[in-house]
Amino acid sequence: MFGHKVGGTVRQRFPVSRIETTTDQWLQRRTKSALAPQFLLDTYIPRYQLLTAQQEARKRSEAYAHLRNCNLCPRLCGVNRFERRGTCLIGADVVVNTIAPHFGEEPCIQGRNGNGSVFFSGCNLRCHGQQFDTPANIPRLVKVFCQNHTIAHQSNGFHVTPEELANWYVKLQDVGGVHNINLVTPEHIVPQVVLSILHAKDLGLKVPIVYNTSSFDSRESIELLDGLVDIYLPDFKVWNAATSKRLLKADDYASVAMESIKAMYAQVGDLCFTSDGIAKKGVLLRHLVMPGFEEEGKQIVRWLAENVSKDLYVHVMEQYHPRAHAGNEKRSKVGRAERVAAGAVEPRARPTDEKTKKAIRYEEINRPVKMEEVNSVKKAAEESGLWRFADASEHGLFSI
């Protein structure tokens, strides 16, 4: 035992067993920390800084080839982006909605100075839907639930070339002092992203690159990004094909996401930090829990634990709320003029009944997610062996 001598006797402060128990508990907590020693880095050099001149030239050549025959993302448009726009509505230039230091990501990504976020317009997923029913077969966007639809799914913003984009990266680094460059919704512009990173390297960029994606990436996209991206930030949305077909307009979403996430992990591994708690390399996976779809979330986290890594850093997100067309009143697909032209008899107006419930669109997701649903997904993740979570701590901030 430990103690001190008083008047020739030793007074016990606390027993050795208590010391051992306290130490064991401390070691257990330390082992279960996302900053455990195996995930700590002394220093870090971004992967693009290590590319040889020959590797850079090969990637530039491949990027231009893909722009001339757009076949990188799973939509496989096949268009020449220098002449036409694809399903994403973006051509050879990129459309940027916002470029600024950003403090809305996980603390290990944003840090004290923020991350240099580049919010791209356009997207290759249809979480907002798409219908080809306008003149000249031009897509009409029909938003379903996208949490960021005003940026990602509207062609709002300014056009920049990859070279101009690279200049913005360097400004974010040198003027904004950001910890990394966070490319938000870049799945549809991978060739331009590749060209911009390579040019930014020549301009003096030295911070890590974050690829913030819906996971609807082809394996070819991830291969082209190999050596350029330090942190992959994928969002695995839904599991069942019927759900992804209805809400994302891509019934193959889960199979594509599984393949792309495994390819991302094969490149950069588990999320690693420097001693200041800033992530430098690895995969940080997000799952936005959808109301009523927690069972799909459980399937996702179980698959991640069994097929990717039990040390995967996971953020089970709770901020879903109805956006865009979720909850809007349903509209008839055939207008009154078309019905009259077809000789249909117009129905007589019914008396208004306030108790009559109006039919609304995507009613199943027309409510915020409940914390019980979020917690059930989190519990399933823990039971499957996952343990590194981006959780809110007791003092209201996030802990790593």
Amino acid sitting at position 363: E
First to last CA, the chain: 35
Question: Is 127 labelled as part of a ligand binding site?
Answer: yes
**How far apart (Å, rounded) are the C-alpha atoms in residues 157 and 150?**
10
Provide the sign of the torsion angle of the four alpha carbons 366, 369, 373, 377, taken in this order: positive
Q: Where are the beta strands (DSSP E) in the chain?
A: 2-6, 9-14, 40-41, 94-102, 115-120, 130-131, 140-141, 158-160, 181-184, 209-213, 231-234, 272-274, 279-288, 313-317, 388-389, 391-392, 398-399
Contact 252, 237 (CB under 8 A): no
Decide if 323 contacts 146 (C-beta within 8 A).
yes
Q: Residue 319: what are its φ and ψ, rounded to 5°? A: -90, 10
Phi-psi domain of 8 (left: phi exceeds 0; alpha: psi -120 through 50; beta: other) = left
| Torsion from C-alpha of 270, 216, 63, 184, nearest 10 degrees | -70
CB crowding 21-30: b at 16 or more within 10 Å, else e: eeeeeeeeee
HSE of 213 in the Cβ direction (CA atoms, 13 Å)? 29
146 is in an annotated binding site: yes
Cβ-based neighbour number of residue 291 at 10 Å? 18
**Contact 379/323 with Cβ under 8 angstroms?**
no
- Residue numbers in the known binding site are 123, 127, 146
- Binding-site residue numbers for [4Fe-4S] cluster are 123, 127, 146
